Amino acid sequence: MQILPNPSQPIDCALLEWRSARRFQNAPIAEHTLRELLELAIHAPCSRLAQPWRFSVPGKITRTRLTRIAHDVTRGIAGSNAALQTAKMLHQAPALVAVSVQYTNSQNIRAQREDYAAVCCAIQNLTLAAHARGLAIWWRSGYLVRHPSTADIFKLENNEELVGLLHIGYPIAGVYQNLKPASSNTRWLE
Ligand SMILES: Cc1cc2nc3c(=O)[nH]c(=O)nc-3n(C[C@H](O)[C@H](O)[C@H](O)COP(=O)(O)O)c2cc1C
């Protein structure tokens, strides 16, 4: 049975439209808009009121450093063309926000998983708040995000891990997902 969205529900509409983009218009994002997105992101569910999210907003100098590292790291893994492309995408991102998790108990795997999950929820909040303002996000979590040099650039602490590097901007084209219906992944039990 296919369930249709309810067009009078803004959240339904936001969830059914694309919110992600890889390419952005050359339009700046006001700092107060970024601040609003961050304030909305933190209204995410989190266990033990841990509030494990940390945000880093790189300025010009940090962005230049990040672009250089991204170029070098990518060249080593994927070659010169990919390196140039990665550097270009970073350079052209109207805004960048690095979102990390500060683990509240690094001895306890369960607490770590909860902290990581809460940060993912915060990123989704930020994405939906951005969407409501006509913005889109590219959430990156690949090798650049996991590279130790990136952790250095964002001055991460020992018990902190990057969850995503978000490119944010007014989109040129969105990313469409071809999703299986929930019914194909759901067990209804007696
Ligand atoms: C945990 C996580 C990590 C992701 N990492 C990447 C990534 O490294 N590169 C990428 O292109 N997309 C990545 N994505 C996917 C997109 O950023 C985005 O979620 C997807 O395009 C669909 O977004 P939308 O349905 O909100 O429009 C990741 C998504 C999640 C949830």
The mean pLDDT of 45-65, rounded to a whole number, is 97
**Residue 136 CA, closest ligand 1 atom number:** 27
Is residue 55 over pLDDT 90? yes
**Residue 22 CA, closest ligand 1 atom number:** 11
Domain extents for the chain? 24-170
Predicted local confidence at residue 157, as pLDDT: 95
**Residue 19 CA, closest ligand 1 atom number:** 27
Is residue 99 over pLDDT 90? yes
Judge if the beta carbon of residue 167 lies within 6 A of ligand 1: no
Q: Name the nearest CA neighbour of 52 among 139, 163, 167.
A: 163
Q: List the residue whose alpha carbon is closest to atom 26 of ligand 1.
A: 19
C-alpha 125/C-alpha 140 separation (Å) is: 16
The tens digit of pLDDT for each residue in 145-154 reads 999 999 999 9
Is residue 1 over pLDDT 60? no
* Alpha carbons within 13 A on the beta-carbon side of 38: 18
Q: What is the dihedral of CA 167, 169, 173, 176, to 10 degrees?
A: 50
The tens digit of pLDDT for each residue in 68-77 reads 999 999 999 9
When the pLDDT of each residue in the chain is averaged and rounded to a whole number, the result is 94
Predicted local confidence at residue 10, as pLDDT: 86
Predicted local confidence at residue 4, as pLDDT: 67
β partners of residue 23: 173
Judge if the beta carbon of residue 86 lies within 6 A of ligand 1: no
Judge if the beta carbon of residue 18 lies within 6 A of ligand 1: yes
Q: List the residue whose alpha carbon is closest to atom 21 of ligand 1.
A: 20
- Residue 17: pLDDT band by 50, 70, 90 thresholds? confident
Domain 24-170 superfamily per CATH:
NADH Oxidase (3.40.109.10)
Judge if the beta carbon of residue 140 lies within 6 A of ligand 1: yes
Cα 16 to chain center, whole Å? Answer: 18
Q: Is the pTM of this model over 0.85?
A: yes
> Residue with structure tokens 């080593």?
76
CA distances from 54 to 8, 24, 39, 140 (A): 34, 25, 12, 16
Predicted local confidence at residue 113, as pLDDT: 97
Is residue 3 over pLDDT 70? no
